[in-house]
Amino acid sequence: MKLKARPATIKDEAQLLAWANDQETRRQSFITKRITKKEHHQWFSKVLTDKHNQRLFILENDDKSPCGQFRFSRNDENDWEIHFSLDAQYRGQNLGRQVIRVCLDIFKKNDQRLRLIAKVKKDNLASLKVLAAAGFEIEKNSSPDANNLKLIYITK
């Protein structure tokens, strides 16, 4: 299966809420409570309009069915954070590396030298593996006791 990315549109709102409330995705997030339709609507409207700081993409398979999503959110001028997930039915098929590859292909199109951060819970082994395989490195001064890790990827 070949995953392709396209920018999210207003039509993706319900699908993105369903993915956001996926049990495993909530468990691996830093705010674990379920997201209401209203909260999601406010958040999503802001993400779609704040083009300077937010880039949200839908992953599609060969049939153009939605398989997952990823988002870059800006922390600072050259400093971004990545969020990603696959629909539960597409997990466990070794597509994780491809997800990150598609993310980085888009991220690296920018000419500047950028830093991309992934904040991952320590028990999120699938995410840690796919990020490490793509060249993300654990931040050197990460506290060994923290229950989450910061992984960093620098372009160029």
The amino acid that residue 128 corresponds to is L
Residue nearer to ligand COA on the CB measure, 97 or 108:
97
Residues 26-55 that bind ligand COA (CB under 6 A): 28
- Residue 96 contacts ligand COA per CB under 6 A: yes
Identify which of residues 49 and 61 has a Cβ nearer to ligand COA in the complex.
61
Contact by Cβ (8 Å): 3, 102? yes
Q: Binding pattern to ligand COA, positions 116-135, x when CB under 6 A? A: --x-x---xxxx-xx--x--
Q: E strands of the chain, at which residues?
A: 4-7, 54-60, 66-76, 79-86, 115-121, 137-138, 148-154
Residue of minimal CB distance from ligand COA?
A: 96
129: its two tokens: 């593996």
| Interface with ligand COA, residue 84, by CB under 6 A | yes
Answer yes or no whether residue 85 interacts with ligand COA by CB under 6 A.
yes
Nearest to 4 by CA among 88, 72, 64, 56: 64
Whose CA is closest to 14, among 34, 41, 54? 41
Q: In whole angstroms, how close is the CB of 111 to ligand COA at the nearest point?
A: 27
Q: Give least dist CB 123 to ligand COA, A.
A: 8
Nearest to 149 by CA among 133, 134, 129: 129
Contacts of 69 (CB under 8 A, 6+ apart): 8, 12, 16, 19, 56, 57, 58, 59, 84, 85
4 binds ligand COA (CB under 6 A): no
**Does 148 interact with ligand COA (rule: CB under 6 A)?**
no
From 23, 37, 65, 92, residue interacting with ligand COA (rule: CB under 6 A): 92
- In the complex, the residues that contact ligand COA under the rule CB under 6 A are 24-25, 28, 84-86, 91-97, 99, 118, 120, 124-127, 129-130, 133
